[in-house]
Amino acid sequence: MLKIGIIGCGKIAQVRHIPEYLSNEHAQIIAFHDRTRERAEKLATKHGGKVYQSYHELLEDREIDAVSVCVANHLHARVTIDALQAGKHVLCEKPMATTIEDCEAMVVTAKTAEKKLVVGHNQLLTPAHKRAKALIDQGLIGEILTFRTTFGHGGPENWSIDPGPGTWFFDKEAAAMGAIGDLGVHKIYLIQHLTGQRITEVTAKLTTLNKKGSSGQPILLDDNALCIFGMESGIVGTMMASWTYYGAEDNSTILYGTKGIMRIYDHPQYAIAVTLKSGESIYYDLESIQTNEEQSKSGVIDTFIESILEDKETELSGEKALDSMRAVFASIESAQTNKTTKVV
C-alpha cells in the first residue's frame, strides 16, 4: 500500500486527486497540508490522516511514499523538487512550472533521486482521446495535414476554491501564465500526442480581452491565446485557449487528414465523428470529457500509482510535460516579440 500526502487541498485536490486515491486499492492518503489549515483539517477529519503545518514537515514523514502537488503554479517546482529530494514520488499538477529552467530541474531531480515524476495531463487519458490516437495510428484519416484544437471556458475565477476576481489564477506572480498555461498546455500536450510530432515553431498572439482582477483593472495575464503551430514534418495547425467562452465549454480537436476528417468532442452527440473522403460517416459513442462542472474519473492517479508500483514511465511523465512546456514558453516569447519562435 502506497502512503500518500496531499500538498494543496483546493479544488483539483478535492474533485480529482482525493477521490481517485480513495478509489485506488493500492493507495492510502495519510497526510494533508494547505496554507489554509482548516481546509486540510476538514479533509483529514473526513478521510483520516494527519495535518501538517508546513509542506516541509509533511515531507519529513518517512511513512509517506508519494505526494500530490496541487498548489498554485509558482510553487510547483519548489515543492516538487523538495519532495523528490525527500525521497517521495511526485504527481504534480499542470502547468508543470513557471520557467523552463524549473521544468528541466524537476526532470533532472527525479532522475537523480530515482523517483517518479508524473504531471497531471488528464486529457490524454479520456476515452475519446485514447480511441482517437488508436484510430489515427491505424490510418483511418490518413496522414494528418492540419488541425484545429480548442480549449475554452468561462475562466477559473468561478472554479477555484477561493473564487472571485482575487483568485491566484489572476495573479501574475502566482499563476505566471494565463489561458496559455492553464488550458493551452493541455492541448499542446494532446496535439503532440495525437500527431506523434513535436511542435517546432510557434506564431502566437496572447491577449487580455475581458478579465479584470479585484482592483477592477485588466489582469496582467492572457485570457485568450491563439497559436499557429508548425510541426516536425512541416504541417501546420492552430490552437485557441480561452478564459472568455461564456456558456458551454469547448474542448474540441479537429484533425484534417488525407483520407478524411476527425472531430473529437465537437459533435453534439458523439465523442468522435469521422467523415471520410468517400462520403462515409463513422460515429463513436464514448464517455464525454471532464468539464469544470462535471468531473468523471480522470485516470491520472491510477496512472501515477501504476508507474510507481510497476516502476515504469508513462505517457504522463515529467519528460513529456517538459516537452509541452517548451512550446508554451515559445508561444509566450512569440507573442512578446511578435515573431515566429522556434521551440528549442
Ligand X SMILES: NC(=O)c1ccc[n+]([C@@H]2O[C@H](COP(=O)([O-])OP(=O)(O)OC[C@H]3O[C@@H](n4cnc5c(N)ncnc54)[C@H](O)[C@@H]3O)[C@@H](O)[C@H]2O)c1
Element (H, E) at 185: helix 185-195
The C-alpha cell of 100 is what?
A: 523552463
Does the protein bind ligand X through residue 88 (CB under 6 A)?
no
Pick from 3, 4, 5, 8 the residue near ligand X by CB under 6 A.
Answer: 8
- Cα end-to-end distance, the chain, whole Å: 40
DSSP state of 14: I
Does the protein bind ligand X through residue 34 (CB under 6 A)?
yes
Amino acid sitting at position 83: A
User: Measured from the CB atom, is 12 or 113 closer to ligand X?
Assistant: 12
Angstrom distances, CA of residue 16 to CA of 105, 197, 292, 344: 26, 29, 11, 33
- Least separation in angstroms between residue 256's CB and ligand X is 26
- Least separation in angstroms between residue 312's CB and ligand X is 21
Does the protein bind ligand X through residue 75 (CB under 6 A)?
yes
- Least separation in angstroms between residue 191's CB and ligand X is 16
Instruction: Label residue 196 left, alpha or beta by phi (over 0 means left) and psi (-120 to 50 means alpha).
Output: left
User: Measured from the CB atom, is 71 or 239 closer to ligand X?
Assistant: 71
The C-alpha cell of 327 is what?
A: 512550446
> How would DSSP label each residue in 228-247?
EEEETTS-EEEEEEES---S
Q: How many residues of this chain interact with ligand X, rule: CB under 6 A?
A: 24
Does the protein bind ligand X through residue 93 (CB under 6 A)?
yes
User: Measured from the CB atom, is 10 or 237 closer to ligand X?
Assistant: 10
Residues 208, 218 contacting (CB under 8 angstroms):
yes
Three-state secondary structure string covering 263-313: EECCCCCCCEEEEECCCCEEEECCCCCCCCCCCCCCCHHHHHHHHHHCCCC
User: Measured from the CB atom, is 126 or 341 closer to ligand X?
Assistant: 126
Does the protein bind ligand X through residue 237 (CB under 6 A)?
no
User: Closest residue (Cβ) to ligand X?
Assistant: 10
Does the protein bind ligand X through residue 12 (CB under 6 A)?
yes
Does the protein bind ligand X through residue 31 (CB under 6 A)?
no
Amino acid sitting at position 127: P
Pick from 80, 98, 122, 149 the residue near ligand X by CB under 6 A.
Answer: 122
Does the protein bind ligand X through residue 106 (CB under 6 A)?
no
CB under 6 A: which stretch of 42-50, 159-167, 201-209, 241-249 binds ligand X?
Answer: 159-167
Binding mask 260-279 for ligand X (x = CB under 6 A): --------------------
CB under 6 A: which stretch of 35-43, 254-262, 277-285, 328-336 binds ligand X?
Answer: 35-43
Does the protein bind ligand X through residue 94 (CB under 6 A)?
yes
- Count other Cβ atoms within 10 Å, centred on residue 168: 17
Pick from 2, 4, 6, 9 the residue near ligand X by CB under 6 A.
Answer: 9
Does the protein bind ligand X through residue 162 (CB under 6 A)?
yes
Residues 232, 100 contacting (CB under 8 angstroms):
no
Residues that bind ligand X (CB under 6 A): 8-13, 34-36, 39, 70-73, 75, 93-94, 120, 122, 160-162, 168, 182
